[in-house]
Amino acid sequence: MNLLPLLISCLQILPSLTNPNEDMCPREIPIHLTKKQREQLQQDFMAMLGVSKRPSFNPEIINRSSSKFLLDVYKFLKQEVTSKRVKRAALYFGEEILNKVQTSDLIVSLNILKLTSKGKYHKLAFPLKNFPESESLIDAELRLYQEESTQYYGSRSMYKISLYTPIETKSGPIKLKKVGEKLTTAEYVGWLSIDISYLFRLWLKSGRSLEEIYLSVSPYASSQKDEGSHFTSLETLGLILQSSTSQNLPYIISFLKNDNKLFQINLRPPRDTSGFEMFEFMEDLEADTGCSMYPYKISFRELMWDDFIIAPAGYTSAFCRGR
């Protein structure tokens, strides 16, 4: 699971700070954290994101397609908003995705955990452990990558990708209920997005740590007549569900809205901060200055969180100081 925090609150202990008086050549002043301080900082940050505990470490996640998507979103949000840049972003992300990004407070991605294929169906499993607890889901979509199909190169044939959720029965095999579909052509190359918001809300209510979704591909013309008698192999269409590299693997992207449950920090008694003077580097500032915003820079790599928090090196935010 990857997190992209779109609303950042002030942290009480910071890994590195930028001197606000050196705007032209900012000077980084490192703050060395003890193991206990680092653990407490991590707990505070997880509480701010609405996550119960840190996701399991997986260095491969950094290079996955979901991480690249979130980093591209972050770079767009960091840029100065102009009409030209919005138009370029709309062409890159798609106008629908861009609208979801701009109305979201938190974006969470889920990487595929396991793939099982049997007959016409392909079962994709996704982990939901430690997912932020909130009912304010704006939208969720499954993203699949389709590469060039050599078998049907130049063909304009249309295909339908169907998604199903398993329904338990008292006896006999499980039944499948269709929850989404997407039309594509043999010559298409790129990412496909399928809306699974309805299914994702059911997942969040179930409270299970692992959920499954079934997928099948069929020619669109035949599916109009008899959906169950025809199906197409993934190789024929060029749809990638598993690969030796992690750059084009399926993933789920979810957009969440802050309903005062996300980012909620439980009140606690003051901690003992003896021996840890956070603002010694600001002695040159006058104590009676008015309240102002000062920049600080966070390195998630120094905190060893760069495998699950998506942000470039030197994440810049701000804090208030003064009267």
pTM metric for this prediction? 0.65
Q: Which pLDDT belongs to residue 41?
A: 73
Q: Which pLDDT belongs to residue 306?
A: 66
Average pLDDT score over residue span 268-286: 49
Task: Answer with the residue of higher pLDDT: 65 or 20.
Answer: 65
Rounded Cα distance between 298 and 16, Å, is: 6
Name the E strands within 199-283.
210-219, 239-240, 251-256
pLDDT band with cut points at 50, 70 and 90 for residue 239: confident
Is residue 279 within 8 Å of 26, Cβ to Cβ?
no
Rounded Cα distance between 155 and 31, Å, is: 60
State the DSSP H helix or E strand holding residue 102, giving kind and residue range, or none if neither: helix 95-103
SS3 (DSSP) at 32: coil
Closest CA to 241 of 220, 208, 217: 217
Average pLDDT score over residue span 65-84: 73
Name the E strands within 95-209.
106-111, 114-118, 121-127, 137-146, 158-167, 175-185, 190-195
Q: 50: exposed, middle or buried (C-beta count within 10 Å: 0-12, 13-18, 19+)?
A: buried
Average pLDDT score over residue span 194-201: 93
**Which domains, from first to last, does the chain contain?**
107-256 (2.60.120.970)
Task: Answer with the residue of higher pLDDT: 162 or 36.
Answer: 162
> Which range is least confidently modeled, 48-57, 117-126, 209-218, 241-250?
48-57
Residue 268 dihedral angles phi and psi, to the nearest 5°: -145, 160
> Which range is least confidently modeled, 120-129, 275-284, 297-306?
275-284
Rounded Cα distance between 265 and 26, Å, is: 31
At residue 203, does pLDDT exceed 80?
A: yes
Task: Answer with the residue of higher pLDDT: 82 or 283.
Answer: 82
